[in-house]
């Protein structure tokens, strides 16, 4: 086979390139419009105008509005997978080091990704809207977020001894909600502080406060540990004070936060 023939078979022709560019432009426009007005209110005419294409391009390239919406959701899902994969890989190595430090670093990276990253607000808003407007789209996106949730629950469960998966899930929800909602509520957050525009030093402070609060929630002592600290123990069990080293006995103790 001639080299020129191999090249023609392996590389897309001009029409294929233009088609890909048009699809990408339509998906980007769809994300913007669906995020702004929602799925139901976004007409095919408005979607075409947003993308700067003929209305017939939607059925030609995607089949219809629903298929364009799902293609937009898939694009966001792939984007999330690429950025979350390194964080998940880091969590899988948590057994080799301090799990709390690993979780802290993971949460900070998630905050920077979702709360202060370069992604447009429309991308975050699209995901939020999909939860109550078009669950099929949300499921596509959440499928790529699920590994992050699973690894966080695993690491925290192993570190704290918590075995109740429902309780772990609830604690993780409480911890992650401020991170995922920070970008859409950013103006409200800034208004509370009397600021009109975000500043890097403010985002850094928000990151620290939010991540520290998440760690307190996720690594709260188990009920049985709290019982031991308060002196409620079973036969043969020692309180945490009893277990203290000789150098710490006699000092004023601090209660373990429940």
Q: Is pLDDT at 23 greater than 90 in this prediction?
A: yes
Residues 6+ apart with CB under 8 A from 93: 102
Q: What CATH number matches the domain at 69-220, 3.30.200.20, 1.10.357.10, 1.20.1250.20, 3.60.15.10?
A: 1.10.357.10
pLDDT in tens, 184-238: 888 888 888 888 877 778 889 999 999 999 999 999 865 543 443 344 444 444 4
Q: Is pLDDT at 99 greater than 60 in this prediction?
A: yes
Per-residue pLDDT at 254: 37
Which residue did the predictor score with more confidence, 119 or 81?
81
Q: Is pLDDT at 36 greater than 80 in this prediction?
A: yes
The span from the CA of 228 to the CA of 137, in Å, is 47
Per-residue pLDDT at 61: 96
- Average confidence (pLDDT) over 91-115: 88
Per-residue pLDDT at 257: 37
Per-residue pLDDT at 201: 83
For the whole model, what pTM was predicted?
A: 0.73
**Which of 130-134, 136-140, 181-185, 249-253 has the weakest average pLDDT?**
249-253
- Sequence ranges of the domains in the chain: 69-220, 221-258
Contact between 162 and 168 (Cβ < 8 Å)? yes
Per-residue pLDDT at 230: 42
Share of the chain above pLDDT 70, in %: 78
Residues in the chain: 258
User: What is the largest distance, in Å, between two alpha-carbon atoms of the chain?
Assistant: 87
- Considering the chain, what is the average pLDDT of its residues? 81
pLDDT in tens, 138-183: 999 999 999 999 999 999 999 999 999 999 999 999 999 999 888 8
The band of 255, judged by pLDDT with boundaries at 50, 70 and 90, is very low
Per-residue pLDDT at 11: 63
């Amino acid at each position: 086979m001639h080299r020129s023939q191999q090249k023609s078979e392996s590389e897309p022709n001009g029409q294929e390139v233009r088609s890909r560019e048009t699809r990408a432009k339509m998906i980007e426009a769809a994300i913007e419009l669906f995020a702004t007005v929602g799925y139901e209110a976004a007409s095919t005419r408005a979607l075409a105008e947003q993308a700067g294409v003929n209305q017939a391009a939607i059925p030609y390239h995607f089949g219809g509005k629903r298929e364009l919406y799902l293609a937009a959701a898939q694009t966001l899902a792939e984007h999330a997978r690429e950025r979350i994969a390194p964080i998940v890989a880091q969590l899988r190595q948590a057994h080799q080091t301090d799990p709390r430090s690993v979780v802290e670093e993971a949460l900070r990276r998630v905050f920077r990704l979702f709360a202060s990253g370069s992604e447009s607000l429309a991308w975050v808003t699209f995901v939020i809207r999909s939860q109550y407007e078009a669950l099929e789209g949300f499921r596509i996106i959440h499928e790529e977020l699920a590994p992050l949730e699973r690894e966080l629950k695993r690491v925290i469960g192993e570190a704290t001894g918590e075995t109740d998966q429902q309780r772990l899930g609830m604690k993780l929800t409480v911890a992650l909600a401020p991170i995922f909602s920070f970008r859409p509520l950013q103006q409200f957050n800034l208004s509370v502080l009397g600021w009109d525009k975000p500043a890097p030093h403010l985002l850094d402070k928000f990151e620290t406060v939010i991540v520290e609060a998440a760690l307190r929630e996720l690594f709260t002592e188990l009920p049985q540990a709290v019982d031991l600290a308060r002196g409620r123990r079973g036969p043969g069990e020692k309180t945490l004070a009893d277990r203290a080293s000789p150098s710490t006995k006699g000092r004023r103790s601090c209660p373990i936060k429940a």
